[in-house]
Structure 1
């Protein structure tokens, strides 16, 4: 059979969609574990400006018997429209939905019109499950024998038992050779995604990771990780993002991986990871090993400068450990993307402002400032619903941390939205001026400082001085609204 696997084009408005074009690891991993079929991978992030035309071209060229779609909650509306289009053009094609939204919301989907264009749903890990589904479609086994799938019978779905977590030793490395297009990038670097572990045991109540993997942590073998890195490099990558939710849950394993990357010569490229302040500061030797291995950027879960908000988020009082983590990472010129969550229940404007000031005082290199989002099935969602603070309960297309779907006890959603814009604008000239950034990217710093910024300063004087702050805000929000309008 011909199998076409699609990832969605939706991108959170925080990101520059022209410079941030990542491949989807899930569909690459599924492709690596499909046996005996022709499989093609289409990351629609590379075709954002012409989605409908691209789908028509793909169906015509590859004549798929099965179309698989992977979607997060904010991408689900797009996935449904694409599946509707597939069915309208080639009604005999079977459609399969997987990913976080399918895993968390399959009951709700299947009891509504949302499930209309889908024949199958994969819940949980799809790496091996998808191939088992193909065997059933091929008549080699029964659908009822496959844990983790839901399948349509007439106008209703049958939900098989939940799938146990996979034995990671059985999952082959992703098949990157079947990607239809090239062009994955991160600000000029050729980007790819690799994983070294799955799951997280931390208690954060704003995260839905435990609904995919439970409160578990599993690590791939170092040999397998090195093989995956080598494969990504062979396919052109010179910048790798590790998809692990928390890279510092196993410090000894992390240090051993750093040593192995260095010994294998894979420190000739750059890596980004996500980590916790507690984990980063729990070893005196870790950060030096990271620097030698090529780890250049750490997404650090700082979240908030308020002890009260950290307790609400179930992060614990990590402020002092965060300061220490930042100090140690910067000693080795490792840049920090600081995770920030604003819009907590008792936030006023001064509380939100204090977070940005805290980040600037710490010389955090980049802001990953997110508005608290009531993701489906999270503890935080239940708390916010009980407090009457969720203002958008069901339009999940806006659940990407950019849009305000909640209010606080003092601020309305529009207030939160405006304040995020206001403080991003206030500190726009701060970004890319930190010592760590200058040491990593001196040419980019001087270009921005002595050419780009003067140019935009003159442009703003000429064209924006007559425009009110309110109008500028309105224009930026209109651009953000239009960013994921594909049909």
Structure 2
């Protein structure tokens, strides 16, 4: 059997910067799970996190001796990933390159036509990547395109957090360090048009959930081995399954761990299970991230959210009544959205007075229903660069981005609780405003010069 040196690369778009945003510090759970599963199968896989490097020379030196190199690619990381792969092949032409991840799964054709990519995994990567390693070690050439197999999430060993030192040192809205993120499920039963069918293509239609006991066992492991002080359960729909929630409350209470934590949930599920909020608050629940998305019923219906403005407001009220902070996400930037729709969202947020407001503009990630529609209609600005979720540039033609940015700025000022915070918002949104104007100007010049 041929021994191979193997690595997985995280080609984050914030690599080589000092940016300490969530993207700059949080771990990549997909890569982590693939490494943990490979280790379980007796395969040593190293991590190369470009965010921990300073430049491309460091990457060349780090990657040159690996025989098998995997790249997990998110849409926002596409440019960085492709550049990394080309450099990888230039310094080591014999290296076998494996790509996978959400972007690869929703748009495999983009990678099939690139002859410098050896293997393409569509869907989940734990079993598929491990099988590729086994085959190559036995001098067997796998198929170039491989459908990933879905597995019981409890078959994946707990993530080795030493690989990701930055996350533990992250300060996240007052939650104590060391701070950790966890994932307890895969797949989503909902049909939001700004997300689906990407999630179904990646993880399937049926939600797979780790048992409450298994998730709490990981929290105990993190407390014992890394002195966990706070954590965030990242699952979008943590409030969906009442039986699971009750089990989590029971198991976490039995653990005796004193820790503040955060969860995510839909407004309808939070309101449906509002009687469990006091128990969760007593155990340390400090914030809930909620995708309210809009205060316009027309927009909620358009994006197929399946919730109502009334339920949004009731869910926020129940969280606040129980002393739980509301981390409110709203999304602007749809072609059918009018100034009146935007004003309705502002009205909803002002009524809620969330602890934290996370405003975004719709991002046309490849493969979701809305981006497919806008692509066919020619509404997506070309040369977007990285697909970031931030409202930092125009993305869709016909959207009032300058008005949206001005509206968000005023809303953030309204919610700011100090003059220093107001000043920071002024600087940040002034920068965004200039960035949007610059984008329109360059786009105008490009069209007219051509």
Q: TM-score by structure 2 length?
A: 0.84
The equivalent residue for 2:244 is 253
Q: 1:421 to 1:239 in 2, by over 3 A?
A: farther
Offset from partner CA, 1:445-469 (integer Å, 9 cap, x none): xxxx37x359x59xx8xxx9xxxx9
Distance in 2 between residues matched to 1:45 and 1:239, nearest whole Å: 23
Partner of 1:59: 63
| C-alpha RMSD over aligned residues | 3.1
Larger relative contact order (C-alpha < 8 A, sep ≥ 6)? 1
Report the CA distance shift for 1:3/1:235 in structure 2 as closer, same or farther (over 3 A).
farther
1:137 is aligned to 136
How far is 1:278 from its partner?
0.8
Verify: 1:427 aligned to 2:411, yes or no: yes
Is structure 2 residue 387 aligned with structure 1 residue 398? yes
Matched residue, 1:204: 192
Q: Distance in 2 between matches of 1:478 and 1:294?
A: 45
Give the unaligned 5+ runs of structure 2.
Answer: 440-450
Q: Does structure 2 conserve the Cα–Cα contact (< 8 Å) formed by 1:255 and 1:289?
A: no
In the alignment, which residue of structure 1 is the partner of 2:444? none
Deviations for 1:306-359, whole angstroms, at most 9, x for unmatched residues? 111111111134211111110111122211221212122322334324323321
**Aligned with 1:73 (options 72, 75, 99):** 75
Pairwise mapping of residues 66-215 of structure 1 onto structure 2 (< 5 A)?
66-111=68-113, 115-139=114-138, 143-144=142-143, 151=144, 159-160=145-146, 162-179=147-164, 184-187=169-172, 189-207=177-195, 208-215=198-205
1:10 and 1:230, CA in 2 relative to 1: closer, same or farther beyond 3 A? farther
* Aligned match of 1:358: 348
How far apart are 1:125 and its partner, in Å? Answer: 1.0
Give secondary structure in 2 for the equivalent of 1:298. strand
Kindly indicate whether the alpha-carbon contact (under 8 Å) linking 1:190 and 1:237 is maintained by their aligned counterparts in 2: yes
Residues 366 and 372, structure 2, Cα contact 8 Å, conserved in 1: no
Give matches, 1:326-475, under 5 Å: 326-386=316-376, 388=377, 390-392=379-381, 395=384, 397-398=386-387, 400-402=389-391, 403-408=393-398, 411=399, 415-416=400-401, 418-431=402-415, 433=417, 449=418, 452-453=420-421, 456=423, 473-474=433-434
Given the alignment, which residue of 10, 29, 33 partners 2:13? 10
TM-score by length of 1: 0.78
Shift of 1:67: 2.1
Say whether the 8 Å CA contact 2:127–2:148 is kept in structure 1. no
Deviation at 1:96, TM superposition (A): 1.8
Size of the aligned set, in residue pairs, is 422
Mapped contact 1:195–1:242 kept (Cα < 8 A): yes
Conserved 8 A contact 1:194-1:241: yes
Q: Is the contact made by 1:199 and 1:245 (CA closer than 8 Å) also made in structure 2?
A: no
Cα deviation 1:173-220 (Å, max 9, x = unaligned): 223344577765144743322111111101211102122123221111
- SS of the equivalent of 1:309 reads helix
Contact 1:2 1:37 in 2 (8 A): no
